[in-house]
Structure formats: C-alpha cells, structure tokens
Amino acid sequence: MESQTRSSDWRSMLLLIFSLGSAFVILSTAMALLVMFLVNDRMLSVAAPLTNILGATTLTAIGLLLLPAGVLSWQRLKGRSFESFELRPLPVWALVLLPVLWLVVISLATLLYKAPGAAWYVPFLHFLAVALPVYILVRIGIRAIPLGSIQRVWAVFASGYSLSLLLAIVLEVLMLLLVVIVLGVFVGLDPGRLGDLERFARQVERARDIESLLPIVAPLLKSPLTLLAALSFLSVFVPFVEELAKSIGVWLVVDRLSSPAQGFALGFLSGAGFALAESLSATLTPDTTWALSFVTRSLSGSMHMLASGLVGMGIASLHLEKRFGRMAILTLLAMLLHASWNAGAVLTVAGGLRVALAVPGFDLAGVLFGTAGIGLLLVLTASMAVAMVLVNLRLRRPMPQAENGLE
C-alpha cells in the first residue's frame, strides 16, 4: 500500500467539489420538477405525465450516482488509502439469471406504463431496463482486469455520465446551430426559398398527428441530400466528438495508469457511464415499442463501451510505451466502429420511412436501405460480442500492487 495520502491531493479536492456540487444541483433540479408536477397535477400517480416524471427520476439517478465519487474523495483527503481491485467474473447462474431478469423488467415496463399508479413504480423499471445490460456488459468486458483504486474507478465512471456527456451535447448543439445559421443565410439570399420554407413550416404546424405529418415531410425524407446530411453528421461528426469526449476520464488519470489493459478497462467504464445517461435520456417517452427501444439502446451502449475501451487502451499505450501510432490506430478504430453503428441506424430508419411512405406502393430503395442498415447492425452486434470476450481474455494480467486514490 502506498504512503499516507496528502491533504494537498488537488485532484481529489476537485473531484469532491465537482461531484458533490453537481449532485446538489442535479438533485435540487429533480426535486423542483417533482414538486412542480405535484402542485400542478395534485395527484402524481393519476394526472402527471409519465414522461415528465421519468425525466425527474433520471436526473435523480444521475445525481445520486455522483455521490460515491465525492464521498471517496473526502475519505481520500482525510487520509484513507484504497487498494487496487478488479471485478471478478460473474458466476454462471448470474449470467443466466440477469438477462432473464432484464427481459422481465422491459416487458413489465412496456405492459404497465399506462396502468394506474404507473408513475410510482415505472421509473424504477425504466432505470433497471437501462442499467442492467450496462452492468452485465461491464462485468463481462473488464472482468479480472486490475482497475486501480475504487476512487479512480468511480471518478472515471462519473466522468462518463457527466463531463463527457455534457461536452458532447454542447459540441453537437453548436454544430447544429452552425448548420442552421448557414442554411438561414443561404435561404435568406433567395426570397423564393424563404417563402417555400415558411409554407413548409405552416404545414408542419397544422399537422395533427404523425400520419398527417408524413406526407408533408415525404419529399424531404426521400431526398438523397437528407440522407447524405444525416450520414455526414451522425457518422462523421458525432463519432469524432463523442469518442474524444468519452476519453476525458482516462486523460484525467493518465499518469496513474499501470498498463494498456487498465486504460482499456477505465475507458470501458467511461463509455458505460456515457451509455447509461444517454440511454436513460433517450427512453423517456414510453409507448408500445418501449421494450424494443431498451433492446436497441443496450446494443448501442455496448458500442459506446467497446469504442471507449479502445480509446482508453490507446491513451495508456501512448503514456506508458510512447506508441503514438498505436493510439492513433485504436482511436480511429473506435471512431470507425461508432460511425458504422450510426450509419446502420440511419439506413435502417431511412429505409423504414421510405417503405412506410410508399404504402400501398413499393419502394425498392427503401427496402435496400433498410436491409443494409439492419444487416450492418447485426454484423456489428455479433462482432462486438466476440471482440469484448477476446479483448478481455487478451488483456488479463496479474493484479499490481495496492494503489492509493487518484495519485
């Protein structure tokens, strides 16, 4: 075990301030939202929109998950030492029982979201439906790999659902604003295009439901430029931004990494935190396809974890072995994985929309797009499952000596 921790541990101090401060702000916001719903609707279990409740409970979950990092940092500053540890492999019975439990949870959530009093228990099902596959994948992907101190683990995990997610959202919103500004300038230079845009906006506003909206936006959805724009943003810009953002936690502890395997494991954890928060936020609107949404989010979460793990391994290789080329290759591989996944999703959605708009006719391009997208996603899913197991087996090493905190 390392020597007694110093009270001047600046990273532990910053982590304490950030985690507890952020938890206070997030939990206060969640409580304010819940109080507002109670005041406005009186009977929370009957009248409050479930989506609003899920938004507040998601904030509550994220706020509570920030607390362990703060508590551990406080203990570190008080002089406590933390031994290095690793996650043991799940027993066979758990590998069977947990997926079954997850299927039960997502089925109950989909069946009961309209039941009386759903606002009181569906939020718990919602959290479990997202968190269980993340937990299972973490236990499979980084089992038996030395992780460092428990404080470091929580710090990197927390960075995934706080700093990384916030940075990615800010950069993506700024990019969209830039696109809107450019389009606005382009449209403003042509009065005819401006008139067409105003008419289109009025038609969208008058649409009463999705069925009346689809014919209005059909020309836009069928345009090759729309598909090209979606692929450019989601398969080029988004993977670049998110893979760099998800690596923040690993960079913050880069000087404490003991091996490329530990870099992979901590990167994997950062991706798990990112996937957890993103999936909770993306599944706030329950409907009859909620179970399918949970399944697809669990698969995209596995992509986030594996890709972040590869970037983390590259960061550790650069720091420990000065292998810049290996870091560049692993980072590009992570971005390519992310880009391919997003491309598969875009093609699947675009193809499905084209087929729906063509009914009762037949849209060959829509069928081809949808088939290609689904096929790509299936290949990636199988490849990621195999890769997680093989990479884990390759990276297992004997656990190093005990470590103390972040430093």
Q: Which residue has the higher pLDDT, 2 or 207?
A: 207
Q: What is the pLDDT of residue 186?
A: 67
CA proximity to 66, closest of 5, 2, 21: 21
Burial 70-102 (b: 16+ CB within 10 A, else e): bebbbbbbeeebbebebbeebeeeeeeebeeeb
CB-CB contact of 310 with 286 (8 Å) = no
> What are residue 148's DSSP bridge partners?
85
Rg (CA), the chain: 23
Q: Which of 94, 60, 54 is nearest to 290 (CA)?
A: 54
Least confident of 4-8, 151-155, 303-307, 341-345: 4-8
Q: Which two tokens stand for residue 189?
A: 């230079």
Query: What average pLDDT does the chain have?
Result: 86
Q: What is the DSSP string of 117-168?
A: THHHHHHHHHHHHHHHHHHHHHHHHSTTS--B-HHHHHHHHHHIIIIIHHHH
Please tell me the distance from the alpha carbon of residue 337 to that of residue 169, in angstroms, as a whole number: 20
What is the DSSP secondary-structure string of 180-201?
HHHHHHHHHT-HHHHHHHHHHH
Amino acid at the residue 167: L
Establish if 32 belongs to a structural domain.
no
pLDDT in tens, 283-295: 999 989 999 999 9
Determine the 3-state secondary structure of 85 from DSSP: strand
pLDDT interval class at 8 (50, 70, 90): very low
Average pLDDT over residues 129-134: 97
Instruction: Please state the rounded mean pLDDT for residues 204-225.
Output: 60
Residues 6+ apart with CB under 8 A from 39: none
Per-residue pLDDT, averaged over 19-36, amounts to: 91
Q: Tokens 């988004």 sit at which residue?
A: 238
Evaluate whether 119 touches 53 at the Cβ level (below 8 Å): yes
Q: Is 356 left (phi over 0), alpha (psi -120 to 50) or beta?
A: alpha
Q: How confident is the model at residue 43 (pLDDT cuts 50, 70, 90)?
A: very low
pLDDT on residue 304: 97
* Band of residue 406 on the pLDDT scale cut at 50, 70, 90: low
The domain in which residue 339 lies consists of: 82-395
pLDDT band at 281 (very low <50, low <70, confident <90, very high): very high
Token pair listed for 246: 């998800």
Q: Is residue 300 situated within a structural domain?
A: yes
Better-predicted residue by pLDDT, 259 or 197: 259
Question: Quick check: is 324 in a domain?
Answer: yes
Rounded Cα gap, residues 276 and 134, in angstroms: 7
Identify the band that residue 272 occupies on the pLDDT scale cut at 50, 70 and 90: very high
Percent of the chain exceeding pLDDT 90 equals 63
The answer to the question of residue 25 being in a domain is no
Residue 156 lies in a domain: yes
pLDDT band for 248, please (50, 70, 90 cuts): very high
CB 326 within 8 A of CB 269: no
Q: Is the pLDDT of residue 94 over 70?
A: yes
Are 330 and 310 in contact by the 8 Å Cβ rule? The answer is: yes
119 assigned to some structural domain? yes
pLDDT class for 2, splitting at 50, 70, 90? very low
Whether 207 maps to a domain, the answer reads: yes
Residue type, 240: F
Q: Would you state the structure tokens that stand for residue 357, as one six-digit string?
A: 């708009």
Whether the pLDDT of residue 332 is over 70: the answer is yes
Sign of the dihedral through C-alpha 283, 289, 291, 297: negative
Measuring CA to CA, how many Å separate 278 from each of 72, 101, 168, 375? 25, 22, 11, 24
Binned at pLDDT 50, 70 and 90, residue 219 comes out as: low
* pLDDT, mean of residues 265-275: 97
Residue 366 has a pLDDT of 86
Q: How many degrees, rounded to 5, is the angle at CA 223 between CA 287 and CA 183? A: 95
C-alpha angle 309-329-235 in degrees, rounded to nearest 5? 75
In total, how many domains does the chain have?
1
Residues in the chain: 407
80-84, 103-107, 302-306: range with lowest mean pLDDT: 80-84
> Which residue is listed with tokens 């409580």?
31
Predicted confidence band of residue 232 (pLDDT cuts 50, 70, 90): confident
Q: How far apart are CA 230 and CA 53, in angstroms?
A: 31
Give residue 46's pLDDT.
Answer: 42
Q: Is residue 212 part of a domain?
A: yes
